[in-house]
Chain A
Amino acid sequence: MRLSGIAWRGLLARPLRTSLAVIGVALGVAIVAATMITGASADAALRGATTDLLGSADVRLRAFSDAGFTPRTVQALRAVPEVITAAPVSERRLVVHTAPGDDERVFTLQVIGVDADVEYRIRQPRLVEGVALSPDSPTDALVPATWAARQGLRLGDELRLDGRGEGVPPLRIIGLMADTGFAALDRGEVMVVSRSTLDESFTVPAPIRYLDLDLGQEPDEIAAGLEIVRGQLEEPFIVETAADASERLASAQASFGAVAFLFGLVAMVVGAFLVGNTLAMSVGERTREFGLLRAAGTTSRQVIGLVLRQGAAIGVAGSVLGILGGIALAGAMVGFLSSTRAALVAGLPLPIGGMLLAFVLGLGVTLAGAVVPALRSARLSPVAALRPSRRSGTGLGDRLRTLLVVELLVVGAGILLFPIDRAGTPLLPLVLSLALLLGGAVITAYLLEPLGRVIGRPFEWFFGAQGLLGRANLSRDRVRTGLTVGAMMIALAAVVALGTVAESARAGAERWVASILPGGNAIRSSVPLDVESFRPTFEGTDGLQVASAVLEVPAVYVTDDSQEEVSLAGIDPNVFQDAGSLIVSGADRADAYFALRNREAVLVPEAFADRHGVGVGDTITLGQPGATSANFGVAGIVDYTIPGRTPDGALIINAADARDLFGVTAASLWVMIPQADIAPSVFASAVRDTANQLAAQPLTARDLAGDLAGSLDRLVGLFDVLALIAVVIGALGIVNTLGIGISERVREIAILRSHGMTVGQVQAMVVAEAAIMGAIAGVLAIVTGLLVAFALVGGGASADLAAGVRLPWGLLVAVILVGTGVAALAGLYPARVAASLPIVRHLKQFE
């Protein structure tokens, strides 16, 4: 054996404590590794989905107008020799029923129509089960396998399209698609049928939205082909690239990676606190031993080496375990994400770079945690160590500062190494959040005693003398206890921050929906309905005050040197103004509506205004390709707007302008305003009836907000799991700290026992100490977590919806209770150990 053997023995001699530290690191590394793997899986899914969506098409043409490409255009293109294949894709949002009966279910799906005979020359069907569409079987339908599983549907099940004529046989599921290609669209709520079947489902054929063209192999061949195609097409169109297509798919995943990574770092920092504490404890415990080693001529460098070796061993073991655990965790996360479609994922790729980063971070953070105890062990004077009484000289701030600087360096390096930019998340709020969390942990150490006195009150009342003793024990080693409580605090703060951001986003979603949906009810039809001829049908709705059509206009924003596609929505200003809808900034709301009523005015979404540097009072030109354009005065900027075909959402104009300037007379979105005295549920059901008559989809503000919040909740649920893992690490730290505290005060406990303290009382004392630690952590976690939430929401790193913070009160209370409860549970094992200490032996020791 060599001297280093002492390091290993030191770890093995305390198997429980060492395992706790290893598990602490492993859990942190596991989260980082799982994040990396899940991120890689999401990237792969995005790439795969885009590739599968475009298939072997060289270009995808998107029809500019809502009417789509005409069948004549498709025929004409197919006649062009340069066009090898032209595959049309039609789309319509439709209500779909399962077989009638008691358990009949109704969904709204994006139904995609393809020409089965040419389709598979462009896109290879990726089926999990079943067969592809065949040209001569009009009842065939494909649905995504994950969606079907979620709805409990299987191969062979029947589906009926609303509006499809009587006596027509129902559709049958003949194939289940993998989550790629078409199945990656609309969160997997899609169905693929033959185009003729989709056309028959309505009096008007479904618009052909896309034309996917195979033009050859060589780039110049393709370019030449595209030129010829341009000459052939009468209707305006837009050439979509793979990047455009993947952007459409990617919107949901945007901030996923960065936020998950933040949680990985949080868990890892908590784990590192655990390691730092473990090593500090074993150094403290073995002061005498180190003293002996130093007396016998061990240099301080050798002692540092011993402690660092222990740190490295814990780091390597924890990181290796963590990476294995991370793969398992990633498996679970990918399974969860794909089954709920909260994000698009594909398989379990093992990104070597990412795993290496997780390993290096794990080892680095652990070594960083070991540096402080190592330095402290080296500074131990052999004489002080050999004196019967010992009390280390360095102050609280001194020890914490070093630990923090080291941790910050490692975490900072981790953030710099992580390709955050890819996730499109600003770096600053993340760094600020981490700084807040770490800073909070330090402040915890300082506030431990005063807070303990206040928060300990109820425990003293409940546990009596044991509560008092438990509370007093907190100040025995303030650094040790402070770090333990701080680590727990960080984990709980992550839960608070997450819950607050989610709640704020929920509030944002509600505000958004309320501001764009006056009266809270609307009907969306799958084809535009002529305003004048359908108005009576809408006005037949019971309890209706007014039905107002929103005229949607595909348009372009024209500047001197370029054109950009935009969506316009023509509204009735009186209806929207009376209902208090649209949050206008940059101008007085009444002025904005006044301008709108006076025609040729526009309200632009904030993102559009920012991107183009457009402000209130400016004039912009909007038009349709090949048609006249008109000038509009910008009358206001809106915080939230009606969704459009472009990511910005629609620019709002007067419906009269949409009709007179752009010739739009049909609408597929109708806002339904109820009479003042009608019950919301009654009106909602009347709206549903009208929608059914028109084979259209009823929309309510609550459903819309719920949809948005639902997909958010699934992601938040996942992050909550990660944060709870950090809470578990924090609890391990409490087990650890209490354990060492007990081994240090064996003699003291023996004296208490000899003075008549019962086994139960000893246990209560330890559990009370643990519970107070948890309660302090919970209280401080709320403060820190809210600050982090402000940083995230304010810095724009959170879900795009959140505007301003809304507090999740229930969660805040729950965090204190969970913190206290988990900590008390963590105290049970040390409590048993303390209670079973032999009295006599410990009374004799060190006489």
Chain B
Amino acid sequence: MTVILEARDLVKRYPVADGEVEALRGVSLQVNAGEFVAIMGTSGSGKSTMLHLLGGLDSPTSGEVVIDGIVISSLDEERRTLTRRDKTGFVFQFFNLIPLLSVAENVALPFLIAGDSTNRHTERVGDLLAMVGLADKADHRPDQLSAGEQQRVALARALATKPAILLADEPTGNLDYTTGAEILDLLWDSADRLGQTVVLVTHDARAAAYADRVLVVRDGQVRDEIALGRRRDHQAGPLIARLAELGL
């Protein structure tokens, strides 16, 4: 098994008015290719910070992040951006889509950013939209979609370039349970059928239960690791039981 994403002793401090906030206090982790990992923790525990560092959106105060053999944390801004373009796909909690662009254009955005024309990728975009069940809404504007549909477009876009890692930050945080489950199903499918590596950040055990492995974060540190294995049923029961055992 190859390690596709690795964090080594990540520390992240934010300067604030009266000193510093230490959002991450030495985080190390490894994610294997094709694995679906959930990062779970309460609000403010440092999950988003971690995801941002793992995806190369930000650089750590100390420590290293290696994506697909590239030490992204030591790259300059420009090369970090290009690596991010190649290797990662992001889904955020909300406001993922560019309101000026149609659904199809939003999905094709990574190609546009890479300097391509949308015309060369219509087929790929069509496939992606079909995969998320929105083939008939290709020409809609984001504000004509429901919140769940918007997240599905965001997911399709994140998968467009077949990135090495898909990073999702509370993608269901803004959705009701059923709609959220649809997104999680899609994430799980992409891991299971396409072999996509997925890192999911969530505070919700029911969402984390879709993952093969759950990292429990508290106060900027990974406190526990719960291996669930790939299961088709996504039952949250075993995970909740383990968390209770650990006193979380």
Residues of A within 8 A of B (CB): 1-3, 5-6, 9-10, 13, 288-289, 292-302, 381-383, 386, 846
Measured CA separation A846–B173 after assembly (Å): 12
- Name B89's closest neighbour in chain A (CB-CB): A296
Q: Is B46 on the interface with A (CB-CB < 8 A)?
A: no
Cβ–Cβ contact B86 & A297, under 8 A: yes
B residues 50-69 in Cβ contact with A at 8 Å: 52, 55, 57-58
A296/B57 contact (C-beta < 8 A), A1-B118, A10-B100 known: no
Q: Is B96 on the interface with A (CB-CB < 8 A)?
A: yes
Query: Nearest-CB distance from A195 to chain B (Å)?
Result: 78
Cβ–Cβ contact A6 & B101, under 8 A: yes
Q: Is B29 on the interface with A (CB-CB < 8 A)?
A: no
Query: Nearest-CB distance from A377 to chain B (Å)?
Result: 14
Cβ–Cβ contact A298 & B57, under 8 A: no
Q: Is B110 on the interface with A (CB-CB < 8 A)?
A: yes
- Taking CB atoms, residues of chain B closer than 8 Å to A288 are 95
Q: Is B105 on the interface with A (CB-CB < 8 A)?
A: yes
**Size range of the interface on B?**
35 or more
Residues of B within 8 A of A (CB): 52, 55, 57-58, 77-78, 81-82, 84-86, 88-90, 92, 94-96, 98-101, 105, 108-110, 112-119, 157
Measured CA separation A295–B83 after assembly (Å): 11
Cβ–Cβ contact A297 & B118, under 8 A: no
Measured CA separation A21–B100 after assembly (Å): 19
Nearest 9 pairs between A and B by C-beta?
A: A297-B85, A9-B100, A3-B112, A383-B58, A298-B113, A1-B118, A382-B57, A297-B84, A299-B81
Cβ–Cβ contact B117 & A2, under 8 A: yes
Other-chain contact of A383, B52, B101, B118 (Cβ < 8 Å):
B52
A295/B84 contact (C-beta < 8 A), A2-B116, A5-B112, A383-B52 known: yes
Q: How many A-B residue pairs lie within 8 Å, measured between CB atoms?
A: 79
- Name A4's closest neighbour in chain B (CB-CB): B112
Residue pairs across A and B with Cβ atoms less than 8 A apart, 8 shown, are A1-B118, A292-B96, A294-B81, A295-B57, A296-B90, A296-B157, A297-B85, A386-B92
Other-chain contact of A1, B84, B99, B117 (Cβ < 8 Å):
B117
- Taking CB atoms, residues of chain B closer than 8 Å to A381 are 57-58
- Name A294's closest neighbour in chain B (CB-CB): B81
Measured CA separation A297–B72 after assembly (Å): 13
Query: Nearest-CB distance from A127 to chain B (Å)?
Result: 62
- Taking CB atoms, residues of chain B closer than 8 Å to A295 are 55, 57, 84, 90
Cβ–Cβ contact B77 & A6, under 8 A: no
Query: Nearest-CB distance from B108 to chain A (Å)?
Result: 8
- Taking CB atoms, residues of chain B closer than 8 Å to A386 are 57, 92
Interface-central residue, A2, A293, A301, by most chain B CB under 10 Å: A2
Cβ–Cβ contact A299 & B58, under 8 A: no
- Name A382's closest neighbour in chain B (CB-CB): B57
Other-chain contact of B113, A3, A9, A10 (Cβ < 8 Å):
A3
- Taking CB atoms, residues of chain A closer than 8 Å to B88 are 297
Cβ–Cβ contact B112 & A6, under 8 A: yes
Cβ–Cβ contact B98 & A289, under 8 A: yes
Cβ–Cβ contact A13 & B100, under 8 A: yes
Query: Nearest-CB distance from A764 to chain B (Å)?
Result: 31
Cβ–Cβ contact B113 & A297, under 8 A: yes
- Name A384's closest neighbour in chain B (CB-CB): B58
Cβ–Cβ contact B85 & A296, under 8 A: yes
User: Which DSSP category, helix, strand, loop or mixed, fits chain A's interface?
Assistant: helix
Cβ–Cβ contact B77 & A300, under 8 A: yes
Cβ–Cβ contact B82 & A1, under 8 A: no
- Taking CB atoms, residues of chain A closer than 8 Å to B110 are 296-297
Other-chain contact of B114, A289, A297, A301, A383 (Cβ < 8 Å):
A297
Query: Nearest-CB distance from A576 to chain B (Å)?
Result: 77
- Name B160's closest neighbour in chain A (CB-CB): A296
Measured CA separation A382–B119 after assembly (Å): 28
Query: Nearest-CB distance from B220 to chain A (Å)?
Result: 16
Cβ–Cβ contact A292 & B98, under 8 A: yes
Measured CA separation A383–B49 after assembly (Å): 9
Query: Nearest-CB distance from A2 to chain B (Å)?
Result: 5
Cβ–Cβ contact A293 & B52, under 8 A: no
Cβ–Cβ contact A297 & B92, under 8 A: no
- Name B84's closest neighbour in chain A (CB-CB): A297
Query: Nearest-CB distance from A746 to chain B (Å)?
Result: 14
- Taking CB atoms, residues of chain B closer than 8 Å to A6 are 98, 100-101, 112
- Taking CB atoms, residues of chain A closer than 8 Å to B99 are 13, 289
- Taking CB atoms, residues of chain B closer than 8 Å to A300 are 77-78, 81
A383/B57 contact (C-beta < 8 A), A9-B100, A292-B96, A299-B82 known: yes
- Taking CB atoms, residues of chain B closer than 8 Å to A10 are 100
- Name B87's closest neighbour in chain A (CB-CB): A297
- Taking CB atoms, residues of chain A closer than 8 Å to B95 are 288, 292
- Name B86's closest neighbour in chain A (CB-CB): A297
Measured CA separation A13–B94 after assembly (Å): 21
- Name B119's closest neighbour in chain A (CB-CB): A1
Interface-central residue, B95, B116, B157, by most chain A CB under 10 Å: B95
- Taking CB atoms, residues of chain B closer than 8 Å to A296 are 84-85, 89-90, 109-110, 113, 157
- Taking CB atoms, residues of chain A closer than 8 Å to B96 are 292
Measured CA separation A5–B108 after assembly (Å): 12
Query: Nearest-CB distance from B200 to chain A (Å)?
Result: 16
Measured CA separation A348–B11 after assembly (Å): 71
Measured CA separation A199–B112 after assembly (Å): 86
Measured CA separation A294–B116 after assembly (Å): 16
Measured CA separation A542–B88 after assembly (Å): 103
Measured CA separation A353–B6 after assembly (Å): 62
Cβ–Cβ contact A299 & B78, under 8 A: yes
Cβ–Cβ contact B81 & A297, under 8 A: yes
A298/B115 contact (C-beta < 8 A), A381-B58, A386-B92 known: no
- Taking CB atoms, residues of chain A closer than 8 Å to B98 are 6, 289, 292-293
Measured CA separation A293–B81 after assembly (Å): 10
Query: Nearest-CB distance from A824 to chain B (Å)?
Result: 32
Query: Nearest-CB distance from A507 to chain B (Å)?
Result: 57
Interface-central residue, B96, B109, B113, by most chain A CB under 10 Å: B113
Besides the known contacts A1-B105, A289-B100, A296-B90, 11 further A-B residue pairs in the complex with CB atoms under 8 A apart: A1-B108, A1-B118, A2-B115, A6-B112, A293-B113, A295-B84, A296-B109, A297-B113, A299-B78, A382-B58, A383-B52
Measured CA separation A295–B110 after assembly (Å): 10
Interface-central residue, A293, A296, A302, A381, by most chain B CB under 10 Å: A296
Measured CA separation A312–B202 after assembly (Å): 43
Interface-central residue, A289, A292, A297, A301, by most chain B CB under 10 Å: A297
- Name A290's closest neighbour in chain B (CB-CB): B98
- Taking CB atoms, residues of chain B closer than 8 Å to A302 are 113
Measured CA separation A13–B142 after assembly (Å): 14
Query: Nearest-CB distance from A578 to chain B (Å)?
Result: 79
- Taking CB atoms, residues of chain A closer than 8 Å to B81 are 294, 297-300
- Name A379's closest neighbour in chain B (CB-CB): B77
- Taking CB atoms, residues of chain B closer than 8 Å to A294 are 57, 81
- Taking CB atoms, residues of chain A closer than 8 Å to B77 are 300
Cβ–Cβ contact A3 & B115, under 8 A: yes
Measured CA separation A9–B95 after assembly (Å): 18
